[in-house]
Amino acid sequence: MDVNYKFKTEPYQHQREALGRSITQQNFGFFMEMGAGKSKVLIDTIATLANEGEIDFALIIAPKGVYGNWIRKEIPEHFSDDVAHRVIQWYANPNKTQEAEMSALREPRPGVLTIFVMNVEAFSTPKGVKAGEWIARKYGARGLIGIDESTTIKNPKAKRTKSLCKISKGFRYRRLLTGSPVTKNPLDIYAQAAFLDPNLLGYDSYFAFQARYAILKKRTMGAHSFQQIVGYRNIDELSQRISRWSYRVLKEECLDLPEKIYTTRSVPLTPDQIKYYNELRNDAFTFVEEGGLVTAQEVITKMLRMQQVLAGHLKNDDHEMIDIPTRRIDTVLECIEETDGKVILWSRFRYEMKALKDALEKAHGPGTAAMFYGDTPTPERQEIVRRFQDPNDPLRFFVSNKTGAYGITLTAANTVIYVSNDFDLETRVQSEDRAHRIGQRKPVTYIDLIADNTIDERIVQALRNKMVMSAAVLGEEAREWLKLTPKKS
């Protein structure tokens, strides 16, 4: 099918190529790095198919913090005015006005494309699943279903994954969108491919797929035995299979964006931090040496508490929060003294975020810092982003956790500080690209705060290892990233 309609916004060459390769395919993945414009490609796909009479309905699914962006920004900005369409939003608990808006979905409008936007979390609920199944029956035969940030369905055991894989079968066209479909290990791709078509990877069983691409070793723990993944194999073959039904592009290949600059700032521990940190670490070592059985959850809890100590607080066994003297916030303030303009600060902990906001406003004045996290109401989130992007607004510091890592543009900043990281590669990559995307005109500097010989270093190394594996699965070279200076013995 020729792409023959009037674009509302002129596509880049790589966007034209993605559209051209995919438009005749029922199943396709746009694995385009954040900031490369994959949302526009899906919008142009929907408009083209509607213009050609192929579809009259599109269901767009995105994470809760992102799906509103499709309604407020992406569709109004990019959808062709030559294709008659209406946009309807899903509400889990609608008021009367919202209920009336959604009820319009029951009545098709001849000659008008309907775009329905839902959050992916809804498909973990009976109400959302019921709605999805009804839509698939009523509109799927002449419809397209697309998932933005498709790694939200990478877990084949999750309820939302099972629900969406079932619902997707009722649609004529299926699309995936994500910066990278592999954020933890090569097996991440299985459920995403199954959403498109269970046979795309050559295996309709997850365990058969796992046996082909994972190296398993039998482990025994007490009276229980299990298969543990100790490595991966046949990665070149997997990469070739994925390339048959997807389009992959990195920003550096398609956009003339400024460079990324990575650096670290060492943060010495206070005596109290050393005391608490060593106690936690020694407790873990003692437990293992005495033959204790350590579950994955126990390991995660231990690491989380060690990281809390580095952030300047610790929740004890009585669930009381203990303040621990830390030099981390002082180091943040020192970094900011060396920079001009607006700054993004990422933290894993709300407690640390609050301390950062207070310290920044004390040093730079009231209203200069804002927190953006899960409990921030949607209207307030929009206002924070608007103010931050306004060069004349005094809001200079955007303080967030992973909530702010998705679906927003923060190109007003060209300095990004990671006050505390986590092990999630997707969060790290997504958060980096809030500032480094179309609209950024300056090099972006990323500063990671690292306490030497602590879990800070382990997290960075784990993220690097995941990046290398992800690149191998997608058939590309691992990109340059943060490097820790080797310690002298």
Query: Tens of pLDDT along 9-48?
Result: 999 899 999 999 999 999 999 999 877 889 999 999 999 9
| pLDDT at position 385 | 95
Q: What is the pLDDT of residue 288?
A: 45
Domain 257-268+327-489: give its CATH code: 3.40.50.300
Residue matched to tokens 């190529």: 17
- The predicted-structure confidence for 164-174, as pLDDT tens digits, reads as follows 999 999 999 99
Tell me whether strands 444-450 and 413-418 are parallel, antiparallel or unpaired: parallel
CB 354 within 8 A of CB 362: no
Confidence (pLDDT) at 444? 92
pLDDT of residue 286: 55
pLDDT exceeds cutoff 90 at 333: yes
Helix (H) or strand (E) run with residue 219 in it: strand 214-221
* Span of 80-84, 428-432, 437-441, 470-474 with lowest mean pLDDT: 470-474
The overall average pLDDT reported for the chain is 90
- Give the per-residue pLDDT at 488: 43
- Radius of gyration of the CA atoms of the chain, in A: 24
CA angle 268, 270, 271 (to 5 degrees): 130
pLDDT band, residue 285 (cuts 50/70/90): low
Is the per-residue pLDDT at 132 higher than 90?
Answer: yes
Q: Tokens at residue 123, please?
A: 């498909």
Instruction: Tokens 């009479």: give the residue.
Output: 53
Residue 292: pLDDT above 60? no
Q: Strands of 342-346's sheet, edge to edge? A: 260-266, 444-450, 413-418, 342-346, 397-400, 369-372
- DSSP calls for 8-65: SSPPPHHHHHHHHHHTT-SEEEEEE-TTS-HHHHHHHHHHHHHHTTS-SEEEEEE-HH
The CATH H-level superfamily of 13-203+236-254 is Tandem AAA-ATPase domain (3.40.50.10810)
Please give the Cα distance from 154 to 307 (Å, whole number): 27
Average pLDDT for residues 252-280, to the nearest whole number?
89
- pTM value is 0.74
Residue appearing with tokens 């090569």 = 186
Dihedral sign of CA atoms 340, 341, 346, 350 in order: positive
pLDDT in tens, 346-367: 999 999 999 999 999 999 999 9
Per residue in 137-172, pLDDT tens?
A: 999 999 999 999 999 999 999 999 999 999 999 999
Q: What are phi and psi of 300, to 5 degrees?
A: -60, -45
**CATH 3.40.50.10810 domain span(s) along the chain:** 13-203+236-254
DSSP 418-475: ESS--S-HHHHHHHHTTTSSTT--S-EEEEEEE-TTSHHHHHHHHHHHHHHHHHHHTT
Helix 38-51 with 13-22: angle, nearest 10 deg: 50
The three-class DSSP label of residue 139 is helix
Q: How many helices (H) and strands (E) does the chain have?
A: 18, 17
Residue 355 phi/psi, 5° resolution? -65, -40
pLDDT at residue 399, rounded to an integer: 98
The token duo for 65 is 């913090």
- What is the rounded distance in angstroms from the CA atom of residue 427 to the CA atom of residue 352? 18
pLDDT of residue 284: 63
CA torsion 371→377→381→387, rounded to 10°?
-80
Q: What percent of the chain has pLDDT above 90? A: 68
Mean pLDDT for the stretch of residues 291-297:
57
Residue 256: exposed, middle, or buried by beta-carbon count in 10 A (0-12, 13-18, 19+)? exposed
Question: What residues have CB less than 8 Å from 280, skipping those under 6 apart?
Answer: 302, 305, 306, 309
pLDDT at 82: 92
